[in-house]
Amino acid sequence: MDKATTKELLDFIFESLQLVQRRFQSIHSSDDFLQNDVGLEKLDAIAMRLQSIGEALKNLMKREKELLLKVADETYWSEIIKTRDFISHHYVAIDAEIVFDICGSELKELEQKIVKLKGLV
């Protein structure tokens, strides 16, 4: 991902957000992730995409910080990157409720910000 262009990274993030939202459609509570293998597979797949989104944003922050700051402050982006770090390094501690909350309340806002960034590139 390091060598991808800014546009490619933003496209990847946008496509990943849409994929996560599609996978999340049948999840109505955090317990849905834990009820059976299908739910666990969704939890794993969504967590992996959230990790990938965070990695892409981490790369963008290194080289396009000023661009990112045009749509949100550094704290906003840092929180997403910290989520990526947590998933990467503490996967055994991933909480289905946290993933549920992220998917249910955070992704639409991030998607809107990514759309704005895509318009600036």
Q: Per residue in 2-30, pLDDT tens?
A: 578 999 999 999 999 999 999 999 999 99
For helices 96-105 and 107-120, angle between their N-to-C axes, nearest 10 degrees? 50
Average pLDDT for 38-47: 95
Q: List, as one string, the DSSP characters of 34-84.
A: HSSHHHHHHHHHHHHHHHHHHHHHHHHHHH-HHHHTTTS-HHHHHHHHHHH
Say yes or no to pLDDT of 70 above 60. Answer: yes
**What are the distances in angstroms from CA 113 to CA 34, 94, 105?**
31, 25, 14
CA 6 to the chain's CA centroid? 16
pTM (2 d.p.)? 0.91
Q: Where are the domains of the chain?
A: 6-120
What pLDDT is stored for residue 39 in this prediction?
Answer: 96
Residues in contact with 113: Cβ distance below 8 Å, sequence separation at least 6, in sequence order: 71, 72, 76
The three-class DSSP label of residue 2 is: coil
